[in-house]
A and B are shown apart, each in its own frame.
Chain A
Amino acid sequence: MRNTFIYDGYGEPTRAQRVTQRSLKLTRRLLIHLLLIGGSLVMLAPFLWMITTALKPDKDIYTWPPRILPSEYHFENFGLAMEQAPFAQYFLNSLILASFHVIFNVALCSMAGYGFARYQFRGRRPLFLLVLAKMMVPAQVTLIPVFVLMRMFPLAGDNDILGQGGTGFVNTYAGLVLPGAVTAFGIFLFRQFFLNLPVELEDAARIDGCSEFRIYWNIMLPLCKPAAVTLGIFSFEAGWNSFLWPLVITQSNEMRTIQLGLTVFRGENQTQWAFLMAGTTLAIIPMIIIFIVGQRYFIKGISTSGITG
């Protein structure tokens, strides 16, 4: 006998079954939303605290127990925090660093990832393993060799051809940007995405007489837009949040980046809470914008149109 309420997939659903179906669907949606709202709150709670702290007067921060909401709202904290150091310059420097990371990483890593994923050539596997192995070396131990390399870069910054005499790329934008311009993660990411694309596309293009670069550029890369966007977001963020490398490679205030700038609020014996939180809040805004814009590309149907059929 057929179940009165639950559609079993045979024949036409009855009216009662249609109602059940719809309400089941609604309940399911509701549950998903509840789950996601709960999850989002867990994710957001610390940020709400961060923003309210940014608005608090000092006496609120140092009350015990801590206050969640400020007793009075000090929006001027944002402005005051930015006056504690040349933050406009820091923002600009970070923007330069992060943007170049995005451009270099997306361009060069997609090419390399494409090469690894779509071609057979001798040395492919060992080279790729090398890329993976690179991710495994902690950055702390290559810090000094990379610094020495930047300092002795031939012909840079008054250096002679032997890398002597000047300061190389130390305290320059090139020095800031270069070491992170290509990341093993980026190559790895693109390789994994290019692996998934059907081979027929390439072959069809070859029949049409496309050059290899045009196949990559006009056909394959557009299909990997989500991967490109992902790497773009990650690269921007890595550049924007990097700390140790900017710390050692920059030597003057004019070259410092935002994360270094924020440390002025965290002294050895005191923390300027409101300013630290105001500064941190302002510092994440560019990344939130980039994410909101970028995540539009995570939508079904865009990337795959035209693959099959």
Chain B
Amino acid sequence: MDRVKAEIEKLFRAKEQRRVRLAALPYPEKVQAVVQMQRMTAPLLLGRGLPVRIWELEPSGWKKEAT
């Protein structure tokens, strides 16, 4: 049981660290993350009849795709 608890605590700590890392990103990268979240959630919201629009950002705002 203690081992499970330790694992869960480790997971929560990692989640927390990820949020801290995300908060420290440069703003243009955060904007990209917001657009990514819009892409992920828009189908659900549109399915519920909510009129949402995914932002169409100019090419300079896009992060280069990893190759």
Chain A partners chain B: no
A: residues with CB less than 8 A from B are: none
B: residues with CB less than 8 A from A are: none
